[in-house]
Amino acid sequence: MKIGFIKSVGDDRCPISQKNIDKWKKQNIDVLMEDGIGSGIGLTQIEEECSRETVLSEADIIYANNFNDLSELKSLNGSKIVVSFFEPYNGKFNPEGLPANVKIFSMDMIPRTTLAQSMDVLSSMASLAGYQAVITAAVQSERYFPMMMTAAGTIKPAQTLVIGAGVAGLQAIATAKRLGSRVEAFDVRAAVKQEVESLGAKFVEVEGSKDDSAAGGYAVQQSEDYLMRQKQEIAKSAAKSDVIICTAQLRGKKAPILITKEMVEAMKFGSIIVDMASSTGGNCELSKDNEEVFHHGVKIIGNSSLFLEKIIDASELLSNNVYNYLSTMFYNGELVIPENDEILQASMIYPKY
Ligand code: NAD
């Protein structure tokens, strides 16, 4: 049995670590790695390295952080398992032309359950990105985060607004607090109020949000009336903020616009918005994915991949998540893929169970 790891376009995270190679070997499972896949984390010149073609032809399980196009998968020979992130909920996966004996698993379909937490790459990366968003804002801002008392006068602490208090948002709140900023946070899920407050931030409350308890940890679309009241509250908070971190997402849908052009124009000169929802349209009306936009003295950074900024730690978490996930496909070193495994069942996208 061989597990192969291949490189991905625009993503230098290494999905396999020496520690996890050793764990596979102990189970008599061989690892193959495309040449250079570990160069960003110093994992080089090891016996597992080979060409991409060798990995694709010899490995029984093939993992990549992404497959830019599916043509490589269409020409796979033999019975193979392919694991990656295909975003089927965004309509990005078209199985047309895939061989019948290939099974495809998409790790972004892993359910948000306690059991699946150790395999949840989206969560581990959201946590890193939440931290990095605040660091990015702190570096790029022309103001300081903490209060500074000097003989020349006192600098007030920065005011940060975090929109969306999920995994990324909570990490952003904690990071901004640690840097000495005052923090307000907002989320449609009223259940997060306590978590926000326990981090020392103020929760901006809007009454009457729709019940999302049956949505599996994802937010649900809100009524027009609620959205209008929400906008008023956010506008008040945005006008006094030096930094806004946007993390609000609706899975499989366009991100909600929560910071309008008018709100940006009412912000203080030199403020920064880091929009982590930019890949699905952004929470700020003016955001552009992977670009910096200047408007009315405000810098808007659109970046949904901030977890790629520090690839050594990102690779470590990714490689552990991937190891934990692939392990569920084995029993005593044998590939089994149990049909009653709810995590595998939810994440197998081709053919469907
Ligand atoms: P996400 O990335 O889907 O969304 C980010 C946040 O934006 C969420 O908190 C969401 O409520 C919020 N949001 C959406 N629309 C909004 C709007 N219009 N205004 C303001 N906020 C809005 O979510 P996430 O960060 O991945 O996680 C959400 C929840 O799921 C968290 O409670 C998290 O702990 C839980 N979760 C659990 C697991 C697990 O148990 N395995 C894994 C991942 C997440």
Q: Is 117 one of the annotated active-site residues of the chain?
A: yes
Residue at token pair 């996930």: 325
Which atom number of ligand 1 is nearest to the Cα of residue 249?
A: 4
What is the helix (H) or strand (E) element at residue 313, kind and residue range?
A: helix 311-327
Q: How many residues does the chain have?
A: 353
Output the residue whose Cα is nearest ligand 1's atom 4.
Answer: 249
Instruction: Give the tokens for residue 231.
Output: 């906008």
CA of residue 336 to ligand 1 center, whole Å? 32
What pLDDT, on the 0 to 100 scale, is given for residue 337?
87
Answer yes or no: is the C-beta of 218 below 6 A from any ligand 1 atom: yes
Domain 2-119+311-348 matches domain 122-308 at the CATH topology level = yes
Q: Is 218 one of the annotated active-site residues of the chain?
A: yes
Output the residue whose Cα is nearest ligand 1's atom 38.
Answer: 112
pLDDT value at 278 more than 60: yes
User: Can you tell me the mean pLDDT for 269-294?
Assistant: 98
CATH number (2.40.440.10, 2.60.40.10, 3.30.420.40, 3.40.50.720) of 122-308 reads 3.40.50.720
Give the up-direction half-sphere exposure of residue 348: CA atoms within 13 A in the CB hemisphere: 19
Supply the Cα-derived Rg of the chain in whole angstroms: 22
**Model pLDDT for residues 312-326, shown as the tens digit of each residue:** 999 999 999 999 999
CB atoms within 10 A of CB 51: 12
Which of the residues 52, 112, 229, 251 is marked catalytic? 112
Statement: 2-119+311-348 belongs to CATH 3.40.50.720? yes
Domain locations in the chain as residue ranges? 2-119+311-348, 122-308
Answer yes or no: is the C-beta of 255 below 6 A from any ligand 1 atom: no
Q: Is 11 one of the annotated active-site residues of the chain?
A: no
Which atom number of ligand 1 is nearest to the Cα of residue 227?
A: 18
Mean pLDDT of the chain: 94
Q: How far apart are CA 306 and CA 133, in angstroms?
A: 7
CA of residue 69 to ligand 1 center, whole Å? 29
User: Can you tell me the mean pLDDT for 128-141?
Assistant: 97
Q: What is the pTM of this model?
A: 0.93
**Model pLDDT for residues 95-124, shown as the tens digit of each residue:** 999 999 999 999 999 999 999 999 999 999
Answer yes or no: is the C-beta of 125 below 6 A from any ligand 1 atom: no
